[in-house]
Amino acid sequence: MDSTPVGLITNPKATPLALQCQQWLDSVLARNINVILSETIDYEVRRELLRANKLLSIKKLDLLKSELTYLPITTELMLKVAELWARARNEGKPTADNKALDGDVILATQAVLVAGYGHEVIIATSNAKHLSMFADAREWQSI
């Protein structure tokens, strides 16, 4: 199962890490912090759930999508993604193979755009390495 926060939250098995992540999300929401589900993350988690025919997890993802603010992919976003993707490669810091769609850059760019509207944005992740090149990204347990 996916070890990202969304992957853990949609895991129907009550593993210690999945329970910890759900409790973390509940505590963040209890502090009236707006949690955003990126369309990019929904896609990355959903495609694997569909491939593995994990119907209960898909239902949990749909529920999560309805409970959180959902941030879709837009043309403005993709134009900025292309800029950041090219800059990272020109600086010798690619975040994925040159032929990959590179979900990390798409997610990070969404954070950059939302922050540009005056919001504090922190990407909750299980791997901050690539994301933190572009935006404030932290291990979810530290938020």
Q: What is the full per-residue pLDDT of the chain (143 aa) written as tens digits?
A: 455 889 899 988 878 999 999 999 999 999 999 999 999 999 999 999 999 999 999 999 999 999 999 999 999 999 999 999 999 999 998 888 877 778 889 999 999 999 999 999 999 998 888 889 899 999 999 98
* Same domain? 36 vs 85: no
* Same domain? 27 vs 87: no
Which of 20, 37, 72 corresponds to the end of one domain?
Answer: 72
35 token code pair: 């949690």
* Same domain? 111 vs 122: yes
61-69 contacts, C-beta under 8 A, 24 or more apart: 61/6, 61/10, 64/6, 64/9, 64/10, 64/37, 65/37, 68/35, 68/36, 68/37, 69/34, 69/35, 69/36, 69/37
Q: How far apart are CA 4 and CA 10, in angstroms?
A: 10
What pLDDT is recorded for position 12?
A: 85
* Same domain? 12 vs 27: yes
What pLDDT is recorded for position 95?
A: 82
What pLDDT is recorded for position 3?
A: 59
What pLDDT is recorded for position 99?
A: 79
Q: How far apart are CA 123 and CA 53, in angstroms?
A: 28
* Same domain? 78 vs 131: yes
* Same domain? 86 vs 132: yes
What pLDDT is recorded for position 55?
A: 95
| Closest to 105 (Cα-Cα) out of 136, 80, 127, 72 | 80
* Same domain? 56 vs 27: yes
* Same domain? 65 vs 3: yes
Question: What is the total count of domains within the chain?
Answer: 2
Residues of the domain holding 4: 1-72
